[in-house]
Structure 1
Amino acid sequence: MSIITATSRAHRIDRRIYGQFAEHLGRGIYEGLWVGEQNEIPHKNGLRTDAIAALREIKVPVVRWPGGCFADEYHWLGGVGPAEDRRAMVNTHWGGVVDPNTFGTHEYFELLHQLDAEAYVNGNVGSGSVAEMQDWVEYMTLDKHTPMAELRRAHGREQPWKLQFFGVGNESWGCGGNMLPLHYANLYRQYQTFVRDYGDSHVAKVACGANADDYEWTDVLMARAAGHMDALSLHYYTLPTGEWDVKGAALSFDDAAWYDTIHRTRQMDTLLRRHGEIMDRHDPARRVGLFVDEWGTWYDVEQGTNPGFLFQQNTMRDAIVAAVNFHIFHRHAARVRMTNIAQMVNVLQAMLLTDGPRLLKTPTFHAFGMYVDHQDADFVETVDDAGRPGSRGAAHLDHTISVKDDVYTVSAVNWDLETDAELVLRLPERVAEVVSARMLHAAASAHNTFDEPDAVTPVDFTGTVVEGSGLRLALPPRSIVTVRVRAGG
C-alpha cells in the first residue's frame, strides 16, 4: 500500500498540455479529417462529422499544423484559392505522394472553428523565405486593405483569423535544414522579426527546440534568442527498443517490451527537468514556455501499409504511455505550457483510426478523455510518508492531483502487468461526495478494431473508498483510474 498526502496548490495545468498535432502525412489529413465537399462520408464543409464529434469529446484545445517535417517544404500560397487553382506538391518526407493541397489555410481554420480550438501554425524556414512567412502571417491576421489581406478576402474570408501560436521552423536540426544551433538561432532572430502583431492580436512565437537530450541546442537558443521568443519546443518519442531502425511492434510485444516502453516514456521527466534547468539559468522568471510539440509512441509500421504513412495500431500500452506522460507534464507545468501528441488521426499514437467511412476511438483517445478535467486546474503537490515530494509510491504506480472549483480530480496509473496496487491519498479537505469514478483497464495488447470498436473503453470504477479526507483506490494491473471528488462538509 502506498500512502500519499496532498499538500498545497502549485502551478496551473494549462489546457494546451492536451494539444494535438495534424500533419500532412499518410491519412492524417486526407480521409482522417478532410473528405471534401463531394464525398459520401458525412461531413460539414468538407470535414468528416464523426471525427469532429469525437475530438470535441476530449476538448482539443489547440492543433499544430501543417507539420512536422512537411512544414519546411510547405508553400502556403499553393493551398489557398479555388480548388482548381491549387498547386499540388510532392510530399518528399512521407511516402513521396502527391499532396493535392485541397486542405490549406482556410480549411485548417475551419477545422479549428468546428473543434473550438486554437491555432498553432508552423512556418517554413528550411525551404521558405522571410517574405513568404511574413506574407502568410499578414494573410491570416491583418485587417487592412493590403495585398495579402485583399487576397484572403478574394478567397472568401473577410475578417482575419486569430492566430495564437506560430512556430518558426520545425526540427531545424534535422529534416528542417540540418542546421547547427547557432546558425538556427541567428535565422530564428531574423525570421521572427517579420512574424508581426497586427492590431490588438498577439502571435506567440515558438522557436524550434531540441531533439530529446540535445542540451547544447537549448543552451545556445536561450542564450542567443530567448528575448525574441515566447516558447521553445522539444521533441521526444517513445521507442520500445530505443533504436530507430527497429523500433518494435505495436501489437506483438512481450513483457520486457512493455516495461521497456514505460521506462523510456518516463525519461521525459529527466528531459523536462534538465532542459528546464538550462532555461531557468537564462530565464529565471519562466517567461518562455517549453512546448513538447511532438511526443508519443513510435513503432514499426503495420505490415502491408505504406512505410511513409506511419500507421500503427494502438493498445492499452499506449494509453498507459499517455497517462504517464500526462503526469510528468503536470509536474513540470510551471514551464511546460503546451504539448502536442503525434498525431491526431491515423498516424503514430493516434486518437482516431479510420477506414473509409468507418471510424474508431483508440485507447489513447480514452486516456485523453479521462484527463479532461485536469485542463486549466491547479496542480496539487504531494509527499509520501517520509515527506519526499513527488514520490510515486509503489514501483509501478503513479498519480496526479488537481483542483478546480472545489472539485479534486485524482488520476492514478498502475502499469504493473500482473499485480494489483492500493493507493491511499490524503487530500487537504474532507471529501463531501464522489462526483465520478472511471477506469480504463485491459490486457496489455488489447486494442480496438473496426469489428470490435469498444474492446478497450472506460467503465465505472468501483474501487474507491472514502475515509474523511482520504481516498483509498484499489487499482488492478494495467489500469488508469480517474476519480473526481467534491471537497467540503
Structure 2
Amino acid sequence: MKIHLDSKNTYGTINPKLHGQFIEFLGSCIDDGIWVGKDSTIPNIRGLRQDVVEALKALEPPIVRWPGGCYADTYHWRDGIGDPTKRPVTFNENFGTYELDQHQFGTDEFMDFCNLIGAEPWLNVNLLSGSVQEMKDWLEYCNRKQPTSLAKLRQANGHTEPYNVKYVGIGNEVWGGGGFMTPQQYAMTYRKYATAMPTFKTSLFDQENAYKIASGPDGNKPKERVRWTREFLAALANYRQPDIDAIDLHFYNWNIDHENDTPTDFTPNDWTRVIQDAHELDDVISEQESLITKGLANMPIPESTMDHRLDHIDLVVGEWGNWHRPAFTARPALHQQVTMRDALTTAISLNILQKHCDSVAMACVAQTVNVLNSLLLTDGDKTILTPNYDVFMMYKGHRGGHVLPLDAETPDVETFASVKNNTITVSLSNTAIREPKTITLIFDHNVQLSTAETLNATHVTDYNDAAHPNAVRRHPLAMAQMTGRQQTVTLPAASVTTLQFKLV
C-alpha cells in the first residue's frame, strides 16, 4: 500500500487544545487519583500526587476541564476554598460514586494543579443548583485584579495574583442530568449567565477575555442532537443575540450492549465493532458543523450597529472516549482498564478531531485519571501509565501543525499526517488484529527519518497494572533505510505508530 505526502498541500492549524483533558469528582479520578492530601505517605506536591503531576507535566496538556461533568451542577465553589479543616462534608451521588466529599481539592488546588502541569483551566459553572450570582462571585474570586472583597479573599487564601481563567462552560449536559431542559429553556438560561459574566475590563474598549462555552447536544442521540443544535441556535436568533464562543458536544464510543464484552476480555468481533464505532465521531462532527453554519446564516441582522450579529461559533468536544459496560458497576465508580483496543480508538478519535481543526477548537478526553478512557491509573502508592497515555505522547508532534490530507486507500490502516517547522509527523494505526501491514510513504520532497516508535502488545487484551506497569508500552520501531523519497514501514498487528521526518 502506498501513501503520497505533498508537504505543500496543507489546510488548517491543529489547535493544541484538541489534546485537552477532563477531570471530575467521579470515582477515584480526583480523590486518590490526583489528590492524596499533604499528610499522605504517598509522595505529593502540596497534596497532589507527585507521579501523576510528573506524568502530566511531561505530556503538557494544553487545557483541563473541571469540576465536571455532572458534578459541576451540584458543586458550590465556596465549599472548596479556605481552611481545609473547616470545609463542609457533603455526599457525592454522581454516576454511582456514593462517597463522602471532603472538598479538600477546590479552586485553589485545581489552579495549582494546572500550573504544575502547564495547562490552562476550563471551569464549568453550576447551572442546575447554583445561581448567576454564584457564577459571578466564582469568576471574581479567580480573576479580579482590583482589591474587591472576593479578590482579597483569594489573596487571604494565599494567591495574590489573579488566575486569569478564560474558558468558562455555562452548564453541562443540560439536556440530561443538567436539568432535562429543552433547547429553548436552555437558551433563556444561557442568555442570563452569558450576560452576567464579568468582563474584567478596565476600559470600555478593552477586549473581553472570556471564552463562553454553551452546553451542546448529546452526540449519542442521532435524532435529538440534530434537533437540539438547530433549535438552540434558532432560539438564540430571536431578538438580540448573546455572546457565545463555542458549543460543547459530548460523544462517547458506547460499548454497553454486549454483556460478555469487557475492557480486558473480548472477541475479534468485539474488537472490530468497537473500532468501527469510533468513526461515528467523524459523522457527528460533520453534521454539527453543518448545523452551526446553517444556524449562523439565519441570524438576523441587528437594527443597531451597537448590537452584534453572531457570525462564528466554534465546536468543542468536551467529553469523548470509550465507555465499556462494566464501568457502570465498577468500584471505584467508572473505573476501566485500557488495552490496545482503547489505544487504537483513542488514536482514531484524535485523527478525527485534528482533521476537523478548522471548526473544532478544543476537545477533552474523558477522563484523565482512573475513570473511563484514562491515561493514568492509580493503585495504592503506584501510578500506572495506560496505553492511552502513550498515544497522546506519540501525537504531541501534531500540535500546532498543518494537516496534510491523505487520500490513499489503506484497508485496516488509519492515517494522519501534519507538517510543522519543516517536520512531517505521520501517524499510522494498524487495526488488523493479527496481520502486520506494510506501507510505503512517498514524499514530494527529500526527507530524513528522525524518529520512529510504535505501540503494540503481545496480546490485544494485555494491559498495564501495578504488577506489570510496562506490559503495553511504546518503543522504537526498526526501519529499513529510505530509498530516494520513499520510506517503507511495516506496522505490527494491532498497533499505533508515529514517524517523524525532517524536510531536507
Change (3 A) 1:110 1:272: same
| C-alpha contact (below 8 Å) 1:66/1:121 kept by paired residues | yes
| C-alpha contact (below 8 Å) 2:327/2:333 kept by paired residues | no
Specify which of 265, 276, 284 is matched with residue 252 of structure 1: 265
| Correspondence list, 1:37-436, <5 A | 37-94=38-95, 95-199=97-201, 202-212=209-219, 213=222, 214-225=225-236, 228-241=243-256, 243=257, 248-283=261-296, 287-301=312-326, 305-306=330-331, 309-384=333-408, 393-431=409-447, 433-436=448-451
CA distance in 2, matches of 1:475, 1:436: 15
CA distance in 2, matches of 1:282, 1:210: 14
| C-alpha contact (below 8 Å) 1:20/1:340 kept by paired residues | yes
Query: What SS does structure 1 have at the residue aligned with 2:11?
Result: strand
| C-alpha contact (below 8 Å) 2:260/2:266 kept by paired residues | no
Shift of 1:247: 8.9
Shift of 1:423: 2.3
Change (3 A) 1:366 1:45: same
- 5+ long unaligned stretches in structure 1: 385-392
Greater than 6 Å deviation, 4+ residue runs: none
Shift of 1:305: 4.0
Aligned to 1:449: 465
Matched, 1:462 2:478: yes
Aligned to 2:303: none
Shift of 1:89: 1.7
CA distance in 1, matches of 2:275, 2:108: 39
Q: TM-score, normalised by structure 1?
A: 0.93
Change (3 A) 1:134 1:304: closer
Shift of 1:303: 10
Aligned to 2:3: 3
Shift of 1:2: 3.7
Shift of 1:473: 2.2
| C-alpha contact (below 8 Å) 2:375/2:389 kept by paired residues | yes
What code does the residue aligned with 2:231 have? V
| C-alpha contact (below 8 Å) 2:264/2:339 kept by paired residues | yes
Shift of 1:202: 0.9
CA distance in 1, matches of 2:427, 2:108: 38
CA distance in 2, matches of 1:83, 1:265: 42
What code does the residue aligned with 1:482 have? T
CA distance in 2, matches of 1:427, 1:273: 29
Change (3 A) 1:289 1:43: same
CA distance in 2, matches of 1:32, 1:165: 24
Aligned to 1:487: 503
| C-alpha contact (below 8 Å) 2:20/2:62 kept by paired residues | yes
Change (3 A) 1:464 1:173: farther
Cα deviation digits, residues 355-402 of structure 1 (max 9, x gap):
111111001111111101111111112333xxxxxxxx2221111111
Shift of 1:260: 0.8
CA distance in 2, matches of 1:186, 1:83: 37
| C-alpha contact (below 8 Å) 1:185/1:220 kept by paired residues | no
Cα deviation digits, residues 73-122 of structure 1 (max 9, x gap):
10111111101221222112132211111100000000001001001010
What code does the residue aligned with 1:438 have? E
The alignment of Structure 1 onto Structure 2 pairs a total of residues equal to 476
CA distance in 1, matches of 2:369, 2:313: 30
Change (3 A) 1:464 1:342: farther
CA distance in 1, matches of 2:59, 2:249: 23
Shift of 1:278: 0.9
CA distance in 2, matches of 1:224, 1:371: 39
Aligned to 1:389: none
Query: What SS does structure 2 have at the residue aligned with 1:173?
Result: coil
Query: What SS does structure 2 have at the residue aligned with 1:467?
Result: coil
Identity of aligned residues (%): 32
Cα deviation digits, residues 51-90 of structure 1 (max 9, x gap):
1111122221110000010000101111111012212221
CA distance in 2, matches of 1:126, 1:426: 54
Shift of 1:31: 1.2
What code does the residue aligned with 2:88 have? R
CA distance in 2, matches of 1:329, 1:463: 29
Matched, 1:437 2:457: no
| C-alpha contact (below 8 Å) 1:247/1:299 kept by paired residues | no
What code does the residue aligned with 2:52 have? A
Shift of 1:184: 0.6
What code does the residue aligned with 2:28 have? R
- 5+ long unaligned stretches in structure 2: 298-309
| C-alpha contact (below 8 Å) 2:191/2:242 kept by paired residues | no
CA distance in 2, matches of 1:383, 1:394: 9
| C-alpha contact (below 8 Å) 1:5/1:383 kept by paired residues | no
Q: TM-score, normalised by structure 2?
A: 0.91
Query: What SS does structure 1 have at the residue aligned with 2:10?
Result: strand
Change (3 A) 1:303 1:22: closer
CA distance in 1, matches of 2:359, 2:443: 25
CA distance in 1, matches of 2:15, 2:444: 22
Query: What SS does structure 1 have at the residue aligned with 2:278?
Result: helix
Q: What's the RMSD between the two structures over aligned residues? A: 1.9
CA distance in 2, matches of 1:349, 1:398: 20
